[in-house]
């Protein structure tokens, strides 16, 4: 089949769950013998070519700074990307059997839908990693821009499509937004080893690994650790990663006098993340918004239980069974997080063994390969509602 994948970012030029998903998808499809074209914005230096074996990567827009200084997505790059996608599909859309796009940043999805009205009969497949509420849109962009963003999302949800989601939370929201067919929930995105590594001695360390943006709430960790240290004085923390909130977190750690207790090293290689998680007693993810929560699975492979926070936009709670592979905190308040840390610390090796067993039971189901099988079957009309019936 001839398949067009569409996303404005490309791993490893930007790093995130969606970036990894589309790169893995492209490589799998190419390895299976399909003809794959990847449309994206240029993120590499002129004169170089992205290394994506067997895939034709086409930049349909110039290089942009994608994020503001506060970590929010800028509006101009998605607009240029949508125009570039529209131009490409108007010229070449008839050659593709499948156009598979991310829902976000929306203008590319609108472009794909528009191109179908001008003669492209390719099947339209859309990944919805997240579906934001109207309230969250307004909080994220302000009242008027947020209202516009929500209405664009609403329109995209109502486009005839084969929709994929990665959580029950966002599949339900997508139906509520007016999706005309049933969304398929993909089982997982985990692309790592299915075999656990040898056990390592544990230390009283709480680990966060992720981007330092407001939604991740990494600034909730140091105050919680300070409280928990009243009962476990030897407790320490490692806040791994980088982002616009990191300077504020460093100042916070200094103000609390925890420089020798909370390590904030910035971006570290994946091998170091795994090594730190493998010796920790728990992974702490206080995010208020997660479309999936891959780090929960990555920690579970190492036998490290996770602490996540109950929140309206947090799909990561779907990956945690209370007392089995982690703890669900009622909020990100220091007292609630400290209590969750203490529960995980007191459960000790029993919870770590239970977490390893949870991973052994669920790893294959949550694997990337299982999801890719579902996606490829959908291209042939064998997964969920037949694509020809939901094509507009």
Residue-range domain boundaries for the chain? 2-191+367-390, 205-362
* Rounded average pLDDT over 237-245: 96
Neighbours of 193 (CB within 10 A): 9
pLDDT score for 382? 52
Query: For all residues of the chain together, what is the average pLDDT?
Result: 92
Cα atoms in the 13 Å half-sphere on the side-chain side of 197? 16
User: Do 2-191+367-390 and 205-362 fold alike per CATH?
Assistant: yes
Structure tokens at 218: 């990494």
CA–CA distances in Å: residue 94 to residues 17, 25, 103? 30, 22, 21
CB 228 within 8 A of CB 204: no
Q: How far is CA 24 from the centre of its chain?
A: 14
Calculated CA dihedral for residues 315, 276, 370, 14, nearest 10 degrees: 70
The counts of H helices and E strands in the chain are 13, 15
pTM: 0.89
Q: Does the domain formed by 2-191+367-390 have CATH 3.40.50.2000? A: yes
Question: Mean of the pLDDT values across residues 80-100?
Answer: 95
- 149-158 exposure pattern, b = at least 16 Cβ within 10 A, e = fewer: bbebbeebbe
Beta strands in 91-171 (DSSP E): 98-102, 123-128, 162-165
Report the greatest alpha carbon distance in the chain: 67
**In CATH, what number does 205-362 get?**
3.40.50.2000
Q: Which two tokens stand for residue 69?
A: 């200084």
Instruction: Please give the pLDDT value at position 385.
Output: 40
pLDDT on residue 75: 83
275-297 CB burial, b ≥16 within 10 A, e <16: ebbbebbbbbbbbbbbbbbbbbb
Res. 254 pLDDT band, cuts 50 70 90 = very high
Please answer whether residues 279 and 304 qualify as being in contact, where contact means their C-beta atoms are separated by less than 8 angstroms.
no
What are the residues whose beta carbons fall under 8 Å from the beta carbon of 260, sequence distance 6 or more?
Answer: none
Write b or e for each residue in 73-98: b if 16 or more Cβ atoms lie within 10 A of its Cβ, otherwise e. Answer: eeeebbebbbebbbebbeebbeebeb
Distance of alpha carbon 256 from alpha carbon 246, whole angstroms: 15
**Tens-digit pLDDT profile for residues 341-373:** 999 999 999 999 999 999 999 999 999 889 988
Neighbours of 236 (CB within 10 A): 18
Given a contact cutoff of 8 angstroms between Cβ atoms, the answer to whether 326 and 355 are in contact is: yes
pLDDT of 114 above 60: yes
pLDDT band with cut points at 50, 70 and 90 for residue 383: very low
Rounded distance, CA 130 to CA 132, Å?
A: 6
SS3 271: helix
Token digits of residue 328:
């669900």
């Amino acid at each position: 089949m001839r398949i067009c994948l569409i996303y404005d970012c490309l791993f490893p030029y930007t790093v995130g769950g969606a970036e990894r998903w589309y790169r893995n998808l492209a490589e799998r499809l190419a390895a299976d013998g399909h003809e794959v074209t990847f449309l994206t914005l240029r993120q590499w230096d002129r004169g170089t070519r992205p290394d994506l074996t067997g895939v034709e990567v086409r930049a349909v827009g110039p290089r942009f700074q994608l994020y503001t200084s506060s970590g929010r997505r800028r509006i101009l790059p998605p607009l240029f990307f949508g125009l570039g996608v529209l131009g490409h599909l108007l010229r070449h859309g008839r050659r593709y059997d499948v156009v598979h796009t991310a829902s976000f940043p929306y203008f590319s999805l609108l472009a794909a839908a528009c191109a179908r009205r001008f003669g492209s009969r390719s099947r339209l497949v859309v990944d919805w990693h997240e579906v934001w509420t109207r309230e969250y849109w307004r909080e994220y962009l302000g009242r008027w821009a947020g209202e516009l963003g929500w209405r664009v999302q609403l329109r995209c949800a109502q486009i005839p499509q084969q929709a994929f989601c990665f959580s029950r939370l966002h599949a339900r929201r997508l139906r509520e937004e007016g999706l005309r067919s049933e969304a398929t929930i993909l089982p997982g995105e985990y692309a790592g080893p299915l075999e656990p590594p040898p056990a390592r001695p544990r230390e009283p360390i709480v680990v966060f690994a992720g981007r330092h943006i407001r939604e991740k709430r990494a600034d909730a960790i140091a105050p919680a650790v300070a409280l928990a240290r009243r009962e476990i004085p030897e407790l320490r923390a490692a806040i791994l990663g980088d982002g616009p909130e990191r300077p504020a977190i460093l100042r916070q750690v200094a103000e609390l006098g925890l420089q020798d207790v909370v390590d904030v090293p910035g971006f570290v290689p994946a091998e170091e993340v795994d090594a730190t998680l493998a010796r920790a007693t728990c992974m702490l993810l206080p995010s208020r918004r997660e479309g999936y929560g891959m780090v929960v699975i990555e920690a579970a492979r190492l036998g490290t239980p996770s602490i996540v926070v109950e929140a309206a936009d947090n799909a990561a709670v779907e990956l945690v069974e209370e007392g089995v592979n982690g703890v669900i905190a009622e909020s990100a308040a220091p007292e609630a997080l400290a209590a969750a840390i203490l529960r995980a610390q007191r459960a000790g090796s029993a919870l770590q063994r239970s977490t390893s067993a949870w991973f052994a039971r669920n790893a294959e189901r949550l694997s990337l390969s299982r999801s890719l099988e579902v996606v490829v079957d959908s291209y042939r009309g064998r997964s969920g509602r037949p694509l020809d019936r939901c094509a507009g």
